Amino acid sequence: MPTRRPARARRARAVVRRGPARRRESVAARAERTRALLARLSEAYPEARCALEHRTPLELLVATILSAQCTDQRVNQVTPELFRRYADAAAYAGADLAQLELRIRSTGFFRNKARALVGLGRALVERHGGAVPRTLAELTALPGVGRKTANVVLGNAFGIDEGIVVDTHVARLARRLGLTTADDPVKIEQDLVRLVPRSAWTLWAHLLIFHGRAVCKAPRPRCAECVLADLCPSAEPG
């Protein structure tokens, strides 16, 4: 006889499978379903972590800036030599712009990124003694640092769950899973932080990114292979 799902998962599934009625799902029921999604994803991807290779908060901050409109794999190919040549904030502050552009050229938008890195180095030296700050307000005041980048650094370099990173994978999956109807990343984050336990905010983004790359792809998700299919209002019949 097949193993039955826990009662919480059965209740969550009942909410999802009501078709049009699922739009009446309460916030409490959606939060319960989110916890079930979190448990499934954590079991499926125990190795989920930040894909950008780094050893220090500064290295992660630089790598995240470089990752804009670029794959993590490409960034990881560029950063070992970059980190060797620019070991601290002062090195970026005093960098020759043309040389820095050359070293990061393959990440795309290299002129804007190089200017941001030089400005970042100067701001860190002048305002923070060369150290990467630990607050969202201070991070987002730095050149080239938006809310997503700040959340990446806070969660992964400092273990501070200040918010949820919303990249293309997280945005796509959050909508497909019926956790938001928004398109704006800030609004998506606002919806998610109401549902995901705070202690899992950093992990949640990694789990959705791993699942988005492996199964819930754009434009054609592999619903037949998905461990979340019975909890997902967008799942196609197998």
Residues recognised as catalytic: 148, 167
- Residues with Cβ within 8 Å of 16's Cβ and at least 6 positions away in sequence, in order, are 22, 25, 33, 178, 230, 231, 232, 233
> How is residue 96 written in tokens?
């020759």
Angle between helices 57-66 and 110-128 (to 10 degrees): 150
- Residues with Cβ within 8 Å of 91's Cβ and at least 6 positions away in sequence, in order, are 85, 121
In 49-157, which ranges are continuous DSSP H helix?
A: 57-66, 72-85, 89-93, 97-104, 110-128, 136-140, 147-157
Rounded Cα distance, 70 and 64, in Å: 10
**Is there a contact between 107 and 74 (Cβ–Cβ < 8 Å)?**
yes
**Is there a contact between 207 and 35 (Cβ–Cβ < 8 Å)?**
no
**Is there a contact between 138 and 126 (Cβ–Cβ < 8 Å)?**
no
Which of 81, 71, 64 is CA-nearest to residue 117?
Answer: 64
**Is there a contact between 213 and 47 (Cβ–Cβ < 8 Å)?**
no
